[in-house]
Amino acid sequence: MKVSIKAIEYYLPPGTEDGAALKRDNPDWRIDDLENKTGVQVRHIAEPGQTAVDMAGLAAAKLLAAGIPKESIDFLVLVTQSPDYVLPTSACILQDRLGLRPSCLAFDVNLGCSGFVYGLAIGGSLIEAGLAGRGLVCCSETYSKYIEKTDRVSRPLFSDGAAVTLLGSSGQDDLGPFEMGTDGSGFRNLIVPLSGARTASSETDKKSLFMAGKEVFMFTMGKVPECVTALLAKSGKTIGDIDHFIFHQASKIVIDNIVRRLELPEEKVFRNYQRIGNTVSASIPIALKDAVSEKKIKKGDLVMLIGFGVGYSWGSCLVKWDGAQ
């Protein structure tokens, strides 16, 4: 079977914070400098009791309400690094909440900013193998719950949000090829240290996000252009053949430098981090949906999706847009 993206919907929590909120908590921060560097003007923040499952449920309900029969969903892949519990699997909770049938496969994928590309590869493989006809790739994150108010590296960047993508069989091959990779030697540079079974050295240690900004940036600059170039070679395409590039919406400085290194035409690069922020695994599908809604992407366009970050992990793929909304 061949695979295509049939629909995308997303949810952003209504609560937001801007530079003024950062300034109130951190009077010594130079907000203009931070916003010029990150490009982020507004971040969406989940309510204290709102979880990744809650947000994914709202996004999925919106998608299903467009006339997608629940009984037609064969799998549910939930990409998240902010699960409701260490166990059980958050995807199982979401399957029940959405009322999907018991024969539906449901499982979590613990990946961050590369997670949507991996989710497409997994979901597409299930369809191509004949194990499923259609399914949902859900990306949902509440990184804000891991971030200290005084964290000058992470707080100006990360935003909460969820996106749900419907994959289905197709008469033409609209998904792929893929280029993916891993370098676990950098795992300490983007981490929530006390979030699993590896215990703390003292009870005073906090379960907070740590990001070594310089190291993560250098990894990105070394690996992402390489990944894009490798996918072009694998697919027999050139930059001129690609209509649009949608990168993980990491920040302005990151995307600016990738565009410069690859010498990409700016009109081919979609950005929405300014009004949304970095929503981790949800950033690419949200950007893809926005680009379609803004009529930047039209039926038949060839789009490259590129995710990269925590792990370290990266992935890219080509999508032939079939006109889905």
* Model confidence pLDDT, tens digit, residues 119-128: 999 999 999 9
Asked whether residue 73 is domain-assigned, the answer is: yes
Q: Please check whether residues 103 and 180 belong to one and the same domain.
A: no
Number of DSSP helices (H) and strands (E) in the chain, helices first: 9, 13
Please list the residues that pair with 316 across neighbouring strands.
Answer: 179, 306
Shared domain for 160 and 263, answered yes or no, is no
By residue range, what is the domain housing residue 267? 176-320
Domain contains 255: yes
Q: Do 188 and 312 reside in the same domain of the chain?
A: yes
- Residues 294, 254: one domain? yes
- Look at residue 200 in the predicted model and tell me its pLDDT: 63
**Structure tokens of 108?**
């979590």
**Section 159-166 average pLDDT:** 98
Residue 302, classed as helix, strand or coil, is strand
Whether residue 156 sits in one domain with residue 85: yes
Kindly report the CATH number assigned to the domain that includes residue 115: 3.40.47.10
- The predicted model gives 268-272 an average pLDDT of 98
- Does a cis peptide bond (omega within 30 degrees of 0) precede residue 225? no
- Under a CB-based contact definition with an 8 Å cutoff, are residues 186 and 215 in contact? yes
Pairwise pLDDT comparison (201 vs 81), residue with the higher score: 81
CB 287 within 8 A of CB 139: no
Residue 181 has pLDDT above 70, yes or no: yes
Final residue in a domain of this structure, among 146, 171, 196: 171
> Does one domain contain both 238 and 164?
no
Structural domains counted in the chain: 2
> Which of these three, 121, 156, 171, is where a domain ends?
171
Across 31-57, b (16+ Cβ under 10 Å) vs e yields eeebbebbbbebbbbbeeebbbbbbbb
Is the pLDDT at 253 greater than 70? The verdict is: yes
pLDDT confidence bin for 176, thresholds 50/70/90: very high
Cα 283–Cα 288–Cα 293 angle in degrees, nearest 5: 125
| Arithmetic mean of pLDDT, 13-33 | 97
Predicted TM-score (pTM) of this structure: 0.95
Are residues 307 and 184 part of one domain? yes
Do 165 and 182 lie in a common domain? Answer: no
Stretch 276-289: mean pLDDT, rounded?
98
Is residue 202 a contact partner of residue 38, using CB atoms and an 8 Å limit?
Answer: no
The reply to whether 98 and 31 lie within a common domain is yes
Res. 205 pLDDT band, cuts 50 70 90: low
pLDDT at 325 over 70: no
Task: Please state the rounded mean pLDDT for residues 149-163.
Answer: 97
Looking at the structure, do residues 51 and 187 belong to the same domain, yes or no? no
Q: Which are the catalytic amino acids?
A: 113, 248, 278
69 and 182 fall within a common domain? no
Determine which helix (DSSP H) or strand (DSSP E) holds 283, and give its type and residue range.
helix 283-293
Regarding whether 155 and 11 lie in a shared domain, the answer is yes
Residue 325: inside a domain: no
